[in-house]
Structure 1
Amino acid sequence: MAETTTRTHDVPGTQHPLMLSWAGATDVGRRRETNQDAFFAEYPLFIVADGMGGHAGGEIASQSTIRRLESLVSSDDVGRDAIERALELAVGDIADHPETTDEGTGTTLTGVFLEYDEGVPHWVSLNIGDSRVYLLRDDRLIQVTTDHSVVQELIAAGKISPEEAEGHPYSNVITRAVGASELTPPDYVALEVRAGDRFVICSDGLTKELTDYGIQHFLREHADPAAAVDAMLAAALENGGRDNVTLVIVQVADESAPDPSSTSEPLGE
């Protein structure tokens, strides 16, 4: 189900008035019968989860995790400690669910949130598994997160190249997940808030079908987050859609210099 309407929100505490805009979508893809991905995009938290497990296990895991984290936004308590408490609760939800029968049930989790230090905002990325956060800054795309996967460990050890990883027989094996077992906290990376930045938060259903160059191309071609989401999703499906595809795009704009093509209105506090 797509949700590609652009939403906006002012960013308080910045030296210059900044505005966030974002959009997200998820699709079952061309080869899967069910969609085990889920996402949540609402100021100040933007996350994607990619479930795994037999029967309904993956869907249970991803939706349970998203639901627990969504509640943090409702209670205005988004931060590292609160996120980890919510994930502990999600692990319990997954373990207790009557349809969780597969020991492999779990979900990846990745995304970004705004954290405030003495009233000044900065971004924090979080990651468990092999879903990713990319950042386009100064027209250069970088992968912010590091995959928790067997092939990433092999790359880090110098045993295979990134190109060899794509066709490796263990390319889908992850080493960390949110699931019915002891939780390992997410990896965090802190980033400054800068006008012009654009984040892409995605499951591996996107990165299986689009290269980093392809992601950068569609960001350059489409200034509006919803248009960029639609274009990337369509390209991933056209390129095979071998897995569920989910992505959220978040971008930061200088509110004092609005895009003349934009008709979005701030949501307010």
Structure 2
Amino acid sequence: MNEVRYNARSHVGHKRKVNEDSVLALPDRSIWLVSDGMGGHDAGDYASRLIADRVAMIPAGLDPTERMHALREAIRESHDIILAQAEARGRGVIGATVAALMIASGHFVGLWAGDSRIYRLREGQIELLTTDHSAVADFVLAGQMTWDEADQHPQSNAITRAVGVGETLELDKVRGEALRGDRFLICSDGLTKYATFAILQSVLAREPLETVSGRLIEIALDGGGADNITVIVLDVL
């Protein structure tokens, strides 16, 4: 069993009236989640909150494999509910990104759809564990630009996958070891528009857990804060 400490913060930013991001921490179930809603007020915040609420209903006491399946199933159920709700409201797209991290027995599993991200800092080096489902991600994967360049691209907000969008939901998964001293970051794109890999690496390596989330949000706000900003930082002890 890994002992994990965490710090989570969310901020509406400078330009939006409503925070359409949702953040969920379930330390007793070793699950942490960020979801970024899309579809405007009364839709985006509904979608992201629904995902967080469904995941929060996962019962305690499941073994890691059962818990991972329950996490995937909760997100899939959210997809179906949001689809039905969009149809009932007779409106366009309602959806949300999701990035969920589970840490157990010396390992981590990340599930995601959209452009919310999971990073890991290990021995001072940062690594992006997820791959954005976005129009510009293909350029990065083809070696035509870096993720930092993609974040500044005019099409960077065009995501190609989200919970509640399309008939069936494809969730991507990443897994690996969670070692003592590892620091994980889960965040919405309201942070990564303003924080390059170098900035993230520097702040995550330097700041104590008590202040790191606040410092990252400050960076996004100082950069313009055009979107909601949500950050969870986790330390594996």
TM-score (normalised: structure 1): 0.79
Q: For residues 5-16 of structure 1, what are the structure 2 equivalents within 5 Å?
A: 12=1
Taking only the aligned residue pairs, the percentage that are identical comes to 34
Q: Does 1:171 align with 2:156?
A: yes
The DSSP-based 3-state class of the residue aligned with 2:6 is strand
| C-alpha distance after superposition, 1:192-222 (max 9, x if no partner) | 1211000010000000111111112222222
**Cα RMSD (Å):** 2.1
Q: Does 1:89 align with 2:77?
A: yes
Runs of 4+ with deviation above 6 angstroms: none
How far is the alpha carbon of 1:170 from its aligned partner?
Answer: 1.4
Aligned to 2:200: 215
Distance 2:207 2:59 in 1: 29
Task: Return 5+ residue gaps in structure 2 as ranges.
Answer: none
Distance 1:151 1:180 in 2: 19
Distance 2:58 2:129 in 1: 23
The question of whether the paired residues in 1 share the 8 Å contact of 2:47 and 2:94 is answered with yes
The DSSP-based 3-state class of the residue aligned with 2:136 is helix
The question of whether the paired residues in 2 share the 8 Å contact of 1:111 and 1:132 is answered with no
Distance 2:69 2:168 in 1: 13
Distance 2:193 2:152 in 1: 10
The question of whether the paired residues in 2 share the 8 Å contact of 1:130 and 1:147 is answered with yes
Q: Does 1:57 align with 2:57?
A: no
Distance 1:96 1:163 in 2: 36
Distance 2:149 2:125 in 1: 24
Aligned to 2:134: 149
Q: Does 1:46 align with 2:35?
A: no
Structure ranking higher in helix proportion: 2
Distance 1:230 1:161 in 2: 26
How far is the alpha carbon of 1:145 from its aligned partner?
Answer: 0.5
Alignment match of 1:112 (pick from 94, 97, 101): 101
Structure ranking higher in strand proportion: 1
Distance 2:41 2:111 in 1: 28
Distance 1:163 1:68 in 2: 33
When Rg is computed on C-alpha atoms for both structures, the one with the higher figure is 1
Q: For residues 1-269 of structure 1, what are the structure 2 equivalents within 5 Å?
A: 12=1, 18-43=2-27, 44-74=30-60, 76=62, 79-97=67-85, 100-115=89-104, 120-160=105-145, 162=147, 164-179=149-164, 181-223=166-208, 225-253=209-237
Distance 1:235 1:161 in 2: 20
Aligned AA (2:79): V
How far is the alpha carbon of 1:160 from its aligned partner?
Answer: 4.7
Aligned AA (2:182): D
- Residues 182/75 of structure 1: CA separation in 2 closer, same or farther (3 Å cut): farther
- Residues 162/83 of structure 1: CA separation in 2 closer, same or farther (3 Å cut): closer
